[in-house]
Structure 1
């Protein structure tokens, strides 16, 4: 288990009954979480006096019930990295705090490489990993199909004082982008990917992680440099084991480059119970 336990501005206060109580800076939010199948030990006043409570709809989706005034957006700090936070209509806030375990790891890898490192961040969302890699000194290409998420990532880079760093933001279909990079002969020392469980390509192609991840990982092998630093795969797809990611990296990266592979769950500490909230899985190959 890789636990993001160095946060000061973020906290999982309590969990139970399918929900988590979180502190995002000074803002307290209550959100559903499918991993929380245990009961709530005690519904304290803190649970009922949140700034916002996201209610799932039985027909899909859901909505926020805002009980106290909340800024349109606010800033969260992780060490020297800064991020804009905003409750979205689909439950999320623009940041996955558990990924801090990966940010710290990749910053150490990049900073200690002793050479220029080029990073490709695929399915890059609002750029948590992009900010971390740029802060550590890498040049970064950030790719996501959602224009709004790419704009959010640009703002996070500026917020962290990294606007002068070599970061390219690209709004594009990730699969098409990788194919073009193959044709152009562009290569990267590190690749980060956080693929969705399901999705559709620009021509209606269906992406299903169980069927598409391995072929996609194989296609990325042609844009890895001759002296790669790391490959990181994140997944939030229910039912996929960390060993699956380990096996895939063992079949692709290790035969060509050697190196080491680690895989496991990623999580966050729960203050009230002392337990760990599982939040997804990761697979890491490193030189």
Structure 2
């Protein structure tokens, strides 16, 4: 009993101290995210007064019904989903060999490569998108090189097209895929690949049967990050889409800033947040599922790492 009382006397002040230390962060999070989010949800159930920019009294599901019933908004919704999915798949394909090379690098080379990965993230969304304008424009670097090589006569139109937006999304969010993959591959046992190669397995089989199952949590984490970021992206589709490729992000901006229909823009934002929550939930469930699965190497050979 005395030991139990002593434990409580130690734990209680520590819990109180931890609560006090967390209080500023909790207050800031509540003020910056929770209160605006609640206001957003409440506003989404309002409607704009007829002939007025002010919101009418009462609550309504009209904004959500409009999102479901209007074919234009339904088309924008599905376009946003498949653009995000395509960007995620392309990021995964590009990131796997790059992350593998970074993971096997050592010393300053690895640190330099990781620093280069972080450059697009710390530079914000605007600067990379403006840089892509110079790359993808009619007189941009890509078209100029292709013309000099004699591969094309007239410029390829990237801006204002779906391929241009997808290229921009991949360029902007590739680091979000690379970082989890580099972390997963860095913790991969070094002798696993060599052992599989010794047994005569070709490299595609090694990747499919050994490496990918082991780094599955990293693949899931990177895919969720890229998909969610692409889903809510505004700057890249707005700049590279030239106003011709509507997504949920650009549509919310237009409704809030140009049409001034804040209730409908709020409904769009709430739907995007719901999709984010679903994506994060699926990612968390898949991560737990892969964590429970047996090691593919030990399952087949009986040898544990």
Structure exhibiting the larger radius of gyration computed from Cα positions: 2
TM-score, normalised on structure 1? Answer: 0.26
Bigger strand share: 1
Whose relative contact order is higher, 1 or 2, with alpha carbons under 8 Å and at least 6 apart? 2
